[in-house]
C-alpha cells in the first residue's frame, strides 16, 4: 500500500499563497529590518514549509534568520534545552511555530528580559497562513480589536450567554491589560496574530455557568470538544465540572496541578479572525474563531503551575446593557461596519 502525505506535495498553492503570507508576516505584521537577529523555533510536528518560507522572507527583508528545531514535547511551555535558552536570550525577534510552544517557559522569560519581541504562531500550517494571514485585512482587524478592548474597558460588567447554556457575568477591572494595548517602543513583549482581543476582569467576580463546546488546550490530549463540558463558577473559581469523558479528563488535569488557583477564571478574550469560521481542533486557529470567546483558566500569577484556554461557541455578549454580539454574530453597528468593510459573508 502506498501512502501520500500532503506535507510532501508541492503545488502552486504552496508556492504563491504561502510566499505572500510569509511576506505579510515579516513586512506588515512584524516588520524585519536589516540586520535583525531573528529566531524561528519549531518542533518535529511543525509544518516546516511555513517555517522555511518565513525564514526566506526574513532573509529577503535583510534580517538574519536562525531556525531551531527540537523534539515535540507532550505539553507546551516547557524548556527543552539550554541551546534554546541561549538562542532566545540573544534574539531580537522570535517566531515560535512549535506546537509545544515556549510561551511562559524559562526561554520565553529570558527573551523578554533581553528585549525580544516574541511572536506566538504555534501550530501554524500552510492552510492557516493563507486563511489567517494572506487573505484578511490586518489594519481593519487591528481597529476592530482596539474597539473591542476600549469599549470593554469602558464598561462596568461583561455578560456572556449562549444557547448551549453559558450564562456568565463578571466585573471589568479598569486597570486594563497591557497585553491588548499599544506595545512599548522597545522590545520585551508578546505579539499574537490579528483577530484576538480582550479585556481585564476581576477574576473573583466571575459568576455563573460556562459551557465549553469548542476547544481546550492545554492539555493537548483534550483539544476539540466532542461533548460539551459544564463548569459551575462562583467567586471566580470552578466549583463543579460535569459532562462526558472529556469533562473527566479536564477535571483530572486541573487536579494534577494540586493548586487551588488552577481553578480560577484568569482572563476573557475575543476571537474574530475571519479566516477561521469553524472549530478545527488546531488550538491556535480555534482561539481566533470569528465570533468566539475564550476563557483562560488557571492564574500563573497566583501560583498555579498550569494555565489553559477554553473556547465557548456562538456567544451572545453584553457590555453593561449594550449587546454587541448575538449567537456568534456581531450586531453592534460599529462592529458590523468593520465586518462589512472586510467583506465578511452574512454582513
**In this model, does residue 6 exceed pLDDT 60?**
no
Among 133, 148, 170, the domain boundary falls at: 133
In which order are the strands placed within the sheet that holds 215-217? 196-199, 265-271, 293-297, 308-312, 215-217, 223-224
Spatial CB neighbours of 181, under 8 Å, sequence gap ≥ 6: 149
With respect to residue 1, please indicate whether it lies within any of the assigned structural domains. Answer: no
In angstroms, rounded to a whole number, what is the distance separating the alpha carbons of residues 159 and 241?
A: 21
Among 113, 133, 153, the domain boundary falls at: 133
Q: pLDDT tens digits, residue range 161-177?
A: 999 999 999 999 999 99
In angstroms, rounded to a whole number, what is the distance separating the alpha carbons of residues 215 and 170?
A: 22
Q: What is the pLDDT of residue 347?
A: 92
56 falls in which pLDDT band (50, 70, 90)?
A: very high
229 falls in which pLDDT band (50, 70, 90)?
A: very high
The count of domains in the chain is 2
Asked whether residue 243 falls in the same domain as residue 153, the answer is yes
Q: What's the farthest any 2 CA atoms get from each other in the chain?
A: 62
Asked whether residue 236 falls in the same domain as residue 325, the answer is yes
Per the structure, the complete domain to which residue 62 belongs is given by 6-133
Asked whether residue 142 falls in the same domain as residue 263, the answer is yes
Mean pLDDT of the chain: 92
With respect to residue 124, please indicate whether it lies within any of the assigned structural domains. Answer: yes
**In this model, does residue 301 exceed pLDDT 80?**
yes
Taking residues 35-45, report their average pLDDT: 96
Q: What is the pLDDT of residue 182?
A: 81
In which order are the strands placed within the sheet that holds 37-43? 64-70, 37-43, 93-96, 117-120, 189-192
With respect to residue 347, please indicate whether it lies within any of the assigned structural domains. Answer: no
In which order are the strands placed within the sheet that holds 157-161? 237-242, 229-234, 207-212, 167-171, 157-161, 316-319, 322-326, 329-330
Asked whether residue 63 falls in the same domain as residue 149, the answer is no
With respect to residue 198, please indicate whether it lies within any of the assigned structural domains. Answer: yes
CATH number of the domain to which 122 belongs: 3.40.50.2300
Cβ density class 170-184: b for 16+ within 10 Å, e for less? bbbeeeebebbeeee
Q: Is 159 helix (H, G, I), strand (E, B) or coil?
A: strand
Q: pLDDT tens digits, residue range 237-263?
A: 999 999 999 999 999 999 999 999 999
In this prediction the pTM is 0.92
Asked whether residue 234 falls in the same domain as residue 95, the answer is no
Among 133, 149, 171, the domain boundary falls at: 133
Asked whether residue 198 falls in the same domain as residue 49, the answer is no
Asked whether residue 119 falls in the same domain as residue 199, the answer is no
Asked whether residue 124 falls in the same domain as residue 144, the answer is no
Asked whether residue 221 falls in the same domain as residue 109, the answer is no
Asked whether residue 119 falls in the same domain as residue 203, the answer is no
Asked whether residue 95 falls in the same domain as residue 19, the answer is yes
Asked whether residue 91 falls in the same domain as residue 165, the answer is no
| CB 85 within 8 Å of CB 107 | yes
Q: What is the pLDDT of residue 10?
A: 46
7 falls in which pLDDT band (50, 70, 90)?
A: very low
Q: What is the pLDDT of residue 183?
A: 81
Amino acid at each position: 500500500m502506498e501512502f501520500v502525505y500532503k506535507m510532501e506535495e508541492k503545488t502552486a498553492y504552496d508556492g504563491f499563497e504561502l510566499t505572500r503570507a510569509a511576506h505579510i508576516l515579516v513586512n506588515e505584521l512584524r516588520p524585519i529590518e536589516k540586520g535583525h537577529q531573528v529566531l524561528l523555533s519549531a518542533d518535529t510536528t511543525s509544518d516546516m514549509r511555513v517555517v522555511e518560507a518565513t525564514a526566506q522572507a526574513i532573509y529577503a527583508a535583510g534580517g538574519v534568520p536562525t531556525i531551531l528545531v527540537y523534539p515535540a514535547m507532550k505539553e507546551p511551555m516547557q524548556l527543552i534545552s539550554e541551546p534554546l535558552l541561549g538562542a532566545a536570550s540573544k534574539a531580537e525577534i522570535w517566531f515560535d511555530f512549535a506546537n509545544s510552544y515556549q510561551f511562559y517557559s524559562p526561554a520565553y522569560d529570558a527573551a523578554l528580559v533581553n528585549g525580544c519581541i516574541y511572536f506566538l504562531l504555534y501550530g501554524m500550517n500552510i492552510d492557516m497562513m493563507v486563511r489567517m494571514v494572506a487573505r484578511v485585512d490586518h489594519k481593519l482587524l487591528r481597529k476592530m480589536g482596539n474597539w473591542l478592548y476600549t469599549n470593554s474597558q469602558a464598561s462596568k460588567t461583561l455578560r456572556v450567554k449562549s444557547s448551549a447554556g453559558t450564562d456568565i457575568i463578571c466585573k471589568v477591572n479598569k486597570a486594563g491589560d497591557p497585553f491588548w494595548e499599544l506595545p512599548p517602543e522597545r522590545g520585551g513583549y508578546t505579539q499574537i496574530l490579528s483577530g484576538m482581543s480582550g479585556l481585564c476582569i476581576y477574576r473573583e467576580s466571575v459568576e455563573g455557568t460556562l459551557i465549553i463546546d469548542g476547544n481546550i488546550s492545554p492539555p493537548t490530549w483534550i483539544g476539540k470538544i466532542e461533548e460539551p463540558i459544564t463548569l459551575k463558577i462562583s467567586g471566580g473559581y470552578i466549583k463543579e465540572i460535569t459532562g462526558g469523558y472529556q469533562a473527566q479528563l479536564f477535571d483530572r488535569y486541573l487536579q494534577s496541578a494540586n493548586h487551588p488557583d488552577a481553578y480560577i477564571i484568569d482572563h476573557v478574550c475575543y476571537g474574530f479572525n475571519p479566516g477561521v469560521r469553524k472549530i478545527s481542533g488546531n488550538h491556535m486557529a480555534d482561539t481566533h474563531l470569528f465570533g468566539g470567546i475564550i476563557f483562560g483558566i488557571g492564574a500563573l500569577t497566583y501560583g498555579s503551575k498550569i494555565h489553559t484556554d477554553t473556547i465557548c461557541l456562538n456567544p451572545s455578549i453584553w457590555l453593561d446593557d449594550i449587546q454587541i454580539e448575538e449567537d456568534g454574530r456581531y450586531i453592534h453597528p460599529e462592529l458590523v461596519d468593520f465586518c462589512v468593510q472586510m467583506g465578511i459573508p452574512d454582513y
